Structure 1
Amino acid sequence: MKREKGLLIVLSGPSGVGKGTVCGALRKHDTHIKYSVSATTRKPREGEAEGVNYFFKSHEEFQRMIRENELLEYAQYVDNFYGTPRNYVEEMIASGRDVILEIEVQGALQVKETFPEGVFIFLMPPSLKELRSRIEGRGTETKDLIDNRMTVARDEIDLMDKYDYVVENDEVEAAVERIKSIVTAENCKKERLIHLYKELVEE
């Protein structure tokens, strides 16, 4: 039975928690879920590709997207901007496809104001010590920047109660299974299906 609208799934959590890794693994498991590629002003990391991991924009290009209302949400995080291009997300949801956004906490809370019916999942590290170890393991940030990220992470964890679900990213495959279970349950909620079954009765 074709649904009238797809789900908007928002996955966020502290920098370094493994959002990208979990999303990548989820996409291999569930090809129905469409991944929304974010735009950012930060420089590409090794192995990242344009249009696959991010749309890499200059600060000037990003400001134009803000002015022209091309972003569903955007946030500034440690001197760089991140945002979600609007059109793709709205078109996919309208066509009945589920869309997952992998975004920062500031952006997730903006999306919640626009799409309160979305499914908001907070990805949690096993511990702050482990989170710091993961950030250090990237080898891309200075100690001062890592300290800054850890301060921000503590503030973001305090916002966990704004979310519908919390998933610990202890092991990637386990986290993916939890998220798949959440999506399955949300797709079975009567609020999302009741109008379809009422139409069957009326026929």
Structure 2
Amino acid sequence: MKKHGTLFIVSAPSGAGKSSLINALLHRFNLDDSLRLSISHTTRAPRPGEENHISYHFVSEEEFKSLISRGAFYEYAKVFDHYYGTSREIVEQWLSEGKDVLFDIDWQGARQIRKQTPDARSIFIVPPSIDELRRRLEARGQDSQDVIDSRMKKAISELSHFSEYDHVIINDDFDESLLTLRSIILSSRSETSLQIEQLHELFPQLSGHDHV
């Protein structure tokens, strides 16, 4: 019998290591293909090494706003003067197929998803310190000092939303953080609140006798 998938939200300030952790999770531990990463639409330009329809779906602002008007997004937000959004159609398809879906989004998108899907599980990744966050951003060698200063200011604002999430991972040691992320997803899959529908299908005699 096929179960309905679960939504997992992962958020973090820029430079906390979120993308690296997600990529490692999918490549090292997703051997049964039970976890899918939602690929966002965005109006920003591709960065070096990014590919269209793999890293993001790169679209114009006009096209993005047209998608908004058609209700095509599960969630969307404007970040650093660019729009980001997640396709509703593909997410609902994966969930109906029993796939768990991972959202790599900011706190604004996370709020929208929780309103629509209260059962979504959320994880917030933070750096070990503000100084380390700045060091990581500078080590990228991608942005000017003004851009880094802007990202740092935004990061402090983003960090204030950590209490809205179910789990917080302090990404000091990468391998340890990766195992923690994996453990959260594995343990969430067995939570009673996410198994009620499946259990009633397996044991119809339980109908009316559970205490949830």
Using the size of structure 1 for normalisation, the TM-score is: 0.93
Partner Cα separation in structure 2 for residue 2 and residue 79 of structure 1: 41
- Cα deviation, 1:100-136, whole Å, max 9, x if unaligned, reads 0111222112211111110000011111111111212
Please tell me the root mean square deviation across aligned C-alpha atoms, in Å. Answer: 1.6
- Cα deviation, 1:28-54, whole Å, max 9, x if unaligned, reads 121321111011111111111111111
SS at the partner of 1:14?
Answer: coil
Match of 1:153 in 2: 155
Match of 1:17 in 2: 16
Aligned residues: 202
Structure 2: gaps of 5 or more residues = 206-212
Partner Cα separation in structure 2 for residue 134 and residue 75 of structure 1: 25
Match of 2:72 in 1: 70
- Choose 1 or 2 for highest CA Rg: 2
Q: Note if contact 1:25-1:176 (Cα within 8 Å) is conserved in structure 2.
A: yes
SS at the partner of 2:193?
Answer: helix
Mean CA deviation greater in 169-178 or 122-131 = 169-178
Q: CA deviation at 1:173?
A: 2.5
Alignment-mate amino acid for residue 17 of structure 2:
G
Alignment-mate amino acid for residue 105 of structure 1:
W
Relative to structure 1, the CA distance from residue 75 to residue 6 in structure 2 (aligned partners, 3 Å threshold; closer, same or farther) is same
Q: CA deviation at 1:61?
A: 1.4
Select which of 186, 189, 192 maps to 1:184.
Answer: 186
Moved over 3 A (4+): 194-203
Q: Note if contact 2:42-2:59 (Cα within 8 Å) is conserved in structure 1.
A: yes
Percent identical: 38
Relative to structure 1, the CA distance from residue 110 to residue 197 in structure 2 (aligned partners, 3 Å threshold; closer, same or farther) is closer
Match of 2:168 in 1: 166
Matches within 5 A, 1:9-48: 9-28=8-27, 29-30=29-30, 31-48=33-50
Q: CA deviation at 1:200?
A: 3.9
Using the size of structure 2 for normalisation, the TM-score is: 0.89
Matches within 5 A, 1:125-136: 125-136=127-138
Relative to structure 1, the CA distance from residue 81 to residue 190 in structure 2 (aligned partners, 3 Å threshold; closer, same or farther) is same
Partner Cα separation in structure 1 for residue 161 and residue 197 of structure 2: 34
